[in-house]
Chain A
Amino acid sequence: MSSTLDVVLTASFWAATLRICAPLLFGTLGELICERAGVLNLGIEGIMTAGALSGWLTVYYGADLWTGVCVAALVGAIFGLLHGFLTVPLGLSQHVTGIGISLLGASLSYFSFRLLIASTATPTIKPFSAVRVPLLADIPLVGPVLFEQSPLVYLAFSLAIAVSYILYRTPLGLAVRMVGENAMAADAQGVSVVGIRMAAVVVGSAIMAIGGAFLTLSAFNAFFVNLVNGRGWICIALVVFSSWKPARAIVASLFFASLEALQIRLQQGSGGLPYQFFLMLPYLLSIVALIAVARRVSGPQSLMVPFRRGER
């Protein structure tokens, strides 16, 4: 127990937590926006993969890192457009479409990767490096954790605050929440349900794709098959864990990321416990936390209910 405490008190543990948290936070925010408008987006894993590849390829072919991030967002938006078109105006099953989009996004990425990069050497790019905020980074403990991170980490947290503001403090946010709760009432008020839902899915998917791009442009410098490794699915659970609230999404993804950072550190000094136990730990504790939280949670009432005007 004392060793756990020792680990948690180090700055490097919290810095690692923020690094691990960032891609999850992007994914969770993207998924949250889609679900808040009433559309479940199970395409997340594939969209993150597509974002990881397209962002990386853009930089590999000579563009700068921020262009890479924008291209990743654009590719994510295109997948979002496809998912939105199938599930919103056409009203198809959101589960089936989402899984289809996920498989399409991942397979298309792997296929294009092999077509474009046909070598056994792993080509790399120069990724985002940590930015030291002058003065603030010199504060002991807090400095290296909060003020010496990759720019994308700052972007993830600022985005969470922006999404929270837009959802709760603007008419647009009200419209998004409304179509997610009661599409018929929104429609009666003159809100375009199809328009808002499509926009939410497109924007949400773009943000997820940035989460994927984080892995290849900041956390690492190359693209690999299976690189996203289930992070998208984690985000879907984190949305529930955060009870569909952007501010809580920060808490939820930080919680999961801190367990992951802890797991890595505890595994090294393991007193004979099998390594699988530690790998399992973040998932196990998240399930426990989810059970505790989920009893009081209710999601958007129109989630997964397609809207057809005049149909009850």
Chain B
Amino acid sequence: MAGDRRSISLTRRSALVTLGSIAGSALLNRSSYAADKLKVAGVYSVPVDQQWASRLHIALKAAEARGDIVYSWSESVANTDMERTIRDWAEKKPQLVIADAFAIERNARKVAADYPKTAFLMGSSFGPTDPNYSVFDNFIQDASYLTGIIAGGMSKSGVIGMVGGYPIPEVNRLMNAFMEGVREVNPKAKFFISFIGSWFDPPKAKEAAYAQIERGADLLYAERFGVSDAAKEKGVLTIGNLVNTQPQYPNTVVVSALWHMEPTIDKVIAKLKEGSYKAEDYGSFSMMKFGGASVSPLGTFEGKVPSEIMAKVADREKAIRDGSFVVKVNDTEPKSTV
């Protein structure tokens, strides 16, 4: 019975699709234009307003606004449901599927193998898999390092607090680079590090930040929402991560290390259009050299950061861009040094 019903509905659906496309092409005659646009599907385990996913979402939205792609997405997909959702989208024959596959590395590779004609661009801690599974990650350690230098120059007490979600490589890497930057200016700097065991619990992140401020931290690394709120209330400074949060906290956020997904997305779209796409590691397109990372403008803090510190930042940035200085990628869990 169930089979019967399905076949009926399928027929009905395909009839509707046929009718619709006839009507559409007759009315608009724009089918050739539509064919130029790539169909792209995004699948995220977090809401699109989460810092990490928002960077992908914004880049894809921009590509859609340019007219390069048609973009649809699913958000807040539980990791247990991720494989099925990716498969559902792959069934719709898009040219490109983008997802965060950190928790389902093996399953995502299985799905990709089943749809060899579709390109998969996955947030992953591992390498690419032939023929179609490419990877990317937030390799913005360059920017984190530079904001660390600014943090080192701005902290008077030399005690810096850091509140993170979970110590996974994507988080640790940026924290370690930031700490490296701080030590560049203040080798004696001390760090408080807390993990709250959740991506979304701002009240808890706020409590952790309060506790760090109480113990003398006068500058916080705001990896989670909630940290800058605590800092604003207590009158201490923060450094933003991935997104620029200075507009919301103009007197609190000194500077942010920004991630730009546009270079990665644009590169993949270009390769798909010219037919040269293959499984690759796109991680480097998130680095400063390729425009994937940057230090936000100082904005409201213009002139408040010591000039010798900004000179050092400019100097290091130049060295990073021309390749004469490389920020270490260190994925180990950072520990408190107090």
The chain A residues found within 8 Å of chain B, CB to CB, are: 10, 12, 16, 19-20, 110, 114, 119-122, 124, 215, 219-222, 224-227, 229, 260-261, 264-265, 267-270, 272, 275-276, 279
CA–CA, A261 and B208, complex, Å: 8
Cβ of B47 and Cβ of A225 under 8 Å apart?
A: yes
Check A225–B192 contact: CB distance below 8 A: no
Minimum C-beta distance from A132 to chain B (A): 14
Q: How far is the CA of A197 from the CA of B117 in the complex (A)?
A: 60
| Residue on A nearest B46 in the bound complex, by CB | A225
* B interface residues with partner A (beta carbon < 8 Å): 46-49, 54, 57-58, 75-76, 161, 167, 192-204, 206-208, 210-212, 214-215, 225-226, 229, 248, 335-336, 338
Some 17 contacts from A to B, beta carbons below 8 A apart, are: A10-B214, A12-B210, A12-B211, A20-B203, A110-B76, A122-B225, A219-B203, A225-B46, A225-B47, A226-B198, A227-B203, A229-B204, A264-B204, A267-B194, A268-B192, A268-B336, A270-B335
Are A264 and B76 in touch, CB under 8 angstroms? no
- Count, A-B residue pairs, CB within 8 A: 95
Q: How far is the CA of A275 from the CA of B196 in the complex (A)?
A: 9
CB distance from B39 to the nearest CB of A (A): 21
A229 (CB) vs chain B CBs: closest residue: B201
Q: Which residues of B contact A114 (CB under 8 A)?
A: 47, 75
| Chain B residues with CB below 8 A from A220, complex form | 202-203, 206, 225-226, 229
Q: A268-B194, A279-B197 are in contact. Are A261 and B225 (CB under 8 A)?
A: no
Q: Say yes or no: A120 contacts B211, CB within 8 Å.
A: no
Q: Is the CB of A224 within 8 A of B200?
A: yes
Q: In the complex, what residues of B have CB within 8 A of residue A260's CB? A: 207
Of B167, B196, B336, which is within 8 A of A270 by CB? B336
Q: Which residues of B contact A122 (CB under 8 A)?
A: 49, 225, 248
Closest to B202 in A: A220
Tell whether, in the assembled complex, residue A222 and residue B192 are in contact, meaning their CB atoms are under 8 Å apart: no
Interface centre among B57, B203, B229 (most CB of A within 10 A): B203
Q: How far is the CB of B150 from chain A (nearest CB, A)?
A: 23
Instruction: Tell whether, in the assembled complex, residue B210 and residue A120 are in contact, meaning their CB atoms are under 8 Å apart.
Output: no
- Knowing that A224-B202, A265-B211, A265-B215 are A-B contacts, what are 20 other residue pairs whose CB atoms are under 8 Å apart, sorted by A's residue number? A12-B210, A12-B211, A20-B203, A120-B54, A122-B49, A219-B202, A222-B202, A225-B76, A225-B200, A226-B200, A226-B201, A227-B201, A227-B202, A260-B207, A264-B211, A267-B208, A268-B211, A270-B336, A279-B195, A279-B197
Q: How far is the CB of B89 from chain A (nearest CB, A)?
A: 18
Question: Which of A12, A215, A224, A276 meets B47, CB within 8 Å?
Answer: A224
Residue pair B207, A261 in contact (C-beta under 8 Å): yes
Please determine whether A229 and B198 come into contact, CB atoms closer than 8 angstroms.
Answer: yes
**Complex Cα–Cα for A10 and B65 (A):** 54
- The distance from the CB of A156 to the nearest CB of chain B, in whole angstroms, is 14
- Report the Cα distance A260→B198, complex, angstroms: 14
> Nearest chain-A residue to B210 (Cβ)?
A16
| B215: A residues at CB distance < 8 A | 265, 268
The answer to whether B57 and A124 touch across the interface, beta carbons within 8 angstroms, is no
